[in-house]
């Protein structure tokens, strides 16, 4: 059983450090742009932002190969989509419900899916994506693809029976799947501190699943932990449960007044900001100057602004497309398309 | 032609599809050496091994939920629930996830899985093991919902369900597992989404499946010489082949919708609504519905027999259309 990793920048390749920083910046810039647009009233529905989860998302995403599957969960998802390679334009357009979105407006921010990039759309009933993740892993095992599945969930979702069932199936069948619990301390308002387990990864222990609980504010730590788990899964060593301890810097959704928090502003401050702390570490070690950081951030802001412009200018889906994709037509054995849409 | 029982026909369908397509596998409680609750998977694990015919831990959430991911991942799971009632214990998977993933992905995902689950009442198994769930599962767009009536249906429709690219919920009837009938020796499949006119007649259309189909046939035979009854077997309840039913009513002018779902918000109402809305002026009399009274299914034999429609009730309903 692993409980802590000792992640150090010195053990990390320059390329990995570079990618981790780049992904964290992209995620922050994307979410800041989405927030600006939401405040202007342009984004339909709820908006759940990743602030505080950037290191966790970047760390797990960079631990995967492009053909590995990511079955996203929890409520903080944009960063997971981006780190799996979904272009900002497609992601932003889907959040806007536009036809150019990855799901043509049928999914929205909670269901963004990208089959080609092996991104499984979120189940959106929290905790319901973990059994499909086990099934995706079974498909990799039976088809001998060599690919691994990483599945994410929040602290709240771990109270659902479906989560525990998934662990039972994964352990029983020795499936190549890594369950990452992003524990940000709150299930909307419910304090994860009330849960009896000190480390939520402990839920894997009675099943004999290797576990780790790591500082998810440190991208190197989460990268190393998920990399080790992915490697074990790929070599036939079965599932892993990892707790990634993060901070939710904002409310559950935009507009959440956070009365359940003693000091919401403290959580939103630089002291809890994984991007600021990684930047500072890199600057302290001489990997990065302030000017370089600013230039990188400006680049990402510009890409995010382009994605916003693309999403805003894109058309909404034709209303008639609401009736497409309900069934794959024709049904087996029928002749013709029976008036339905083929896909 | 060979005479097979429904459970033998199901086993033959699974056997042929496991042999035909290596992406197909069967997963469920007791499907391995135990051979399934009704013998429908007997000897398949011996033949195909524990990977292709796999016993699962006891969790419908896991059986249905993992099958969804496996289907998206390129396999063709046949996920067996021991009783169709257990669709409710996997309610989130069966209602919120499986039928919607293809749609919300904008058509990127296909979910070619089959859930095989015996439904219906009559084997004295009480309220939580006797329900006909095709009304409440049929109201989930995205799920194809199929009821099995004859051994011929059972084999041909299960094979099609496994080959279809949609999630298909296949419902044999518990009380018909031993029902025997002729099944072709050569390979065949039956189209999904298409009803079958099983008995031709000119005076009244009766729509019925599963055990009530046989009672409808009995009713038709009892009335022969007096009233000429046409019996339509919908086979697929969702999406429902309303055209075949409506064409029959346009011919006969009368309709009796018989089903083992509860009458309140049941399939009977939907069938009648389709006909009255679209073919009102073809009707010579108000349509009649026959179904389970709005009660849970009781355990005690005389109570269970009381609430499940019998041949007499179908005869009465047919007469009421004249």
When scoring A103, A106, A131 by the number of chain B Cβ atoms within 10 A, the one with the most, hence best to mutate, is A131
**Helix or strand or coil: residue B134?**
helix
Please tell me chain A's helix, strand, coil percentages from 3-state DSSP, rounded to the nearest 5: 45, 10, 45
Only one residue has tokens 């692993």, namely A2
A143 Cβ under 8 Å from any chain B Cβ = yes
- The rounded mean pLDDT for chain A is 93
Query: Where does the pLDDT of residue A8 fall: very low under 50, low under 70, confident under 90, or very high at 90 and above?
Result: confident
A328·B110 Cβ contact <8 A: yes
pLDDT at B306 over 60: yes
Mean per-residue pLDDT, A11-24: 94
pLDDT of the residue at A343: 39
A331·B191 Cβ contact <8 A: yes
pLDDT of the residue at B94: 97
Provide, as residue numbers in chain B, all residues whose Cβ is less than 8 Å from the Cβ of A171: none
Nearest CA to CA, how far is A341 from chain B (Å)? 10
- Say which DSSP state A318 is in: P
Closest residue in B to A142 (Cα) is B51
Nearest CA to CA, how far is A266 from chain B (Å)? 37
Provide, as residue numbers in chain B, all residues whose Cβ is less than 8 Å from the Cβ of A128: 65, 92-93, 96-97
Do residues B31 and B55 touch, judged by C-beta distance below 8 A?
Answer: yes
pLDDT of the residue at B95: 97
Nearest CA to CA, how far is B246 from chain A (Å)? 16
Mean per-residue pLDDT, A171-180: 98
User: How far, rounded to the nearest angstrom, does the alpha carbon of residue B107 sit from its chain's CA centroid?
Assistant: 26
Of A107, A111, A168, the CB nearest to B62: A168
Q: Helical H runs in chain A?
A: 14-39, 54-61, 78-83, 88-95, 130-143, 161-172, 219-234, 264-267, 274-284, 290-313
Of B59, B73, B192, the CB nearest to A165: B59
A134·B69 Cβ contact <8 A: yes
pLDDT tens digits, one per residue of B255-283:
999 999 999 999 999 999 999 999 999 99
Q: Complex ipTM above 0.85? A: yes
pLDDT at B245 over 70: yes
- How far is A294 from A309, CA to CA, in rounded Å? 22
Nearest CA to CA, how far is B272 from chain A (Å)? 22
pLDDT of the residue at A341: 41
pLDDT of the residue at A4: 53
Beta pairing partners, A18: none
**Sign of the CA dihedral B27, B29, B31, B37?**
negative
pLDDT tens digits, one per residue of A192-233:
999 999 999 999 999 999 999 999 999 999 999 999 999 999
Provide, as residue numbers in chain A, all residues whose Cβ is less than 8 Å from the Cβ of B49: none
- How far is B2 from B12, CA to CA, in rounded Å? 12
Catalogue the E-assigned strands of A102-176. Answer: 119-120, 149-154
| B270 labelled catalytic | no
- How far is A309 from A59, CA to CA, in rounded Å? 29
Catalytic residue among B129, B134, B173, B270: B129
Closest residue in A to B110 (Cα) is A328
Of B23, B61, B104, the CB nearest to A162: B61
Closest residue in A to B167 (Cα) is A327
A168 Cβ under 8 Å from any chain B Cβ = yes
pLDDT of the residue at A23: 98
Could you say which residues from 88 to 117 on chain A have a Cβ atom under 8 Å away from some Cβ of chain B? Answer: 101-107, 111, 113-116
């Amino acid at each position: 059983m692993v409980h802590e990793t000792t992640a150090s920048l010195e053990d990390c390749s320059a390329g990995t450090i570079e990618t981790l920083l780049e992904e964290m910046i992209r995620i922050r810039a994307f979410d800041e742009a989405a927030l600006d647009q939401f405040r202007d009233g342009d984004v339909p529905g709820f908006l759940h932002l990743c602030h505080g989860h950037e290191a966790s998302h970047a760390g797990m995403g960079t631990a995967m190969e492009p053909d590995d599957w990511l079955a996203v969960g929890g409520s903080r998802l944009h960063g997971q989509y981006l780190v799996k390679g979904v272009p900002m334009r497609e992601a932003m357009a889907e959040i806007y419900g536009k036809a150019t979105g990855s799901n043509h407006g049928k999914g929205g921010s909670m269901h963004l899916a990208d089959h080609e990039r092996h991104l499984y759309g979120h189940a959106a009933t929290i905790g319901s994506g973990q059994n499909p993740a086990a099934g995706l892993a079974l498909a990799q095992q039976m088809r001998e693809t060599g690919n691994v599945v990483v599945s994410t969930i929040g602290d709240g979702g771990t109270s659902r029976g479906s989560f525990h069932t998934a662990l039972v199936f994964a352990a029983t069948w020795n499936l190549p799947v890594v369950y990452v619990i992003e524990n940000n301390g709150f299930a909307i308002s419910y304090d994860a501190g009330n849960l009896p387990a000190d480390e939520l990864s402990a839920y894997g222990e009675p099943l004999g699943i290797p576990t780790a609980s790591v500082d998810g504010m440190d991208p190197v730590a989460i990268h190393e932990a998920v990399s080790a788990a992915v490697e074990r899964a790929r070599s036939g060593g079965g599932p892993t449960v990892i707790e990634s301890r993060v901070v939710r810097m904002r409310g559950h959704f935009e507009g959440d007044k956070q009365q359940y928090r003693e000091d919401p502003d403290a959580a939103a401050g630089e002291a809890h900001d994984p991007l600021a702390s990684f930047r500072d570490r890199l600057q302290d070690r001489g990997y990065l100057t302030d000017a370089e950081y600013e230039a990188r951030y400006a680049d990402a802001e510009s890409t995010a602004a382009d994605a916003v412009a693309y999403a805003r200018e894109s058309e909404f889906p034709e209303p008639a497309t609401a009736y497409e994709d309900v069934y794959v037509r024709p049904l087996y054995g029928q002749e013709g398309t029976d008036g339905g849409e083929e896909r | 032609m060979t005479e097979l029982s429904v459970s033998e026909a199901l086993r033959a369908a699974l056997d042929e599809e496991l042999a035909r397509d290596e992406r197909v596998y069967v997963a469920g409680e007791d499907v391995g050496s135990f051979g399934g609750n009704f013998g429908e998977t007997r000897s398949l694990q011996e033949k195909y091994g524990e990977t292709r015919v796999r016993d699962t831990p006891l969790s419908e959430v896991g059986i249905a939920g993992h099958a969804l991911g496996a289907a998206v991942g390129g396999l063709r799971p046949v996920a067996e629930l021991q009783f169709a009632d257990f669709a409710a214990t996997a309610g989130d998977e069966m209602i919120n996830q499986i039928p919607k993933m293809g749609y919300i992905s904008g058509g990127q995902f296909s979910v070619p899985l089959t859930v095989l689950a015996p439904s219906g009442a009559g084997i004295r198994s009480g309220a939580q093991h006797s329900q006909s769930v095709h009304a409440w599962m049929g109201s989930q767009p995205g799920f194809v919902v199929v009821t099995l009536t004859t051994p011929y249906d059972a084999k041909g429709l299960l094979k099609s369900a496994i080959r279809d690219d949609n999630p298909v919920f296949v419902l044999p009837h518990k009380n018909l597992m031993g029902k025997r009938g002729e099944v072709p020796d050569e390979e065949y499949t039956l189209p999904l989404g298409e009803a079958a006119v099983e008995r031709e007649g000119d005076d009244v259309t009766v729509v019925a499946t599963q055990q009530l189909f046989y009672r409808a046939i009995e009713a038709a035979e009892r009335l022969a010489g007096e009233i000429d009854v046409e019996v339509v077997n919908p086979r697929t309840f969702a999406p429902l082949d309303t055209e075949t039913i409506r064409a029959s009513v346009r011919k006969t002018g009368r309709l009796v919708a018989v089903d083992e779902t509860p009458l309140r918000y049941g399939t009977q109402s939907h069938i009648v609504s389709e006909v009255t809305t679209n073919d009102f002026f073809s009707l010579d009399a108000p349509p009649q519905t026959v179904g389970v009274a709005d009660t849970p299914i009781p355990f005690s034999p005389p109570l269970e027999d009381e609430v499940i429609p019998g041949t007499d009730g179908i005869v009465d309903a047919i007469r009421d259309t004249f």
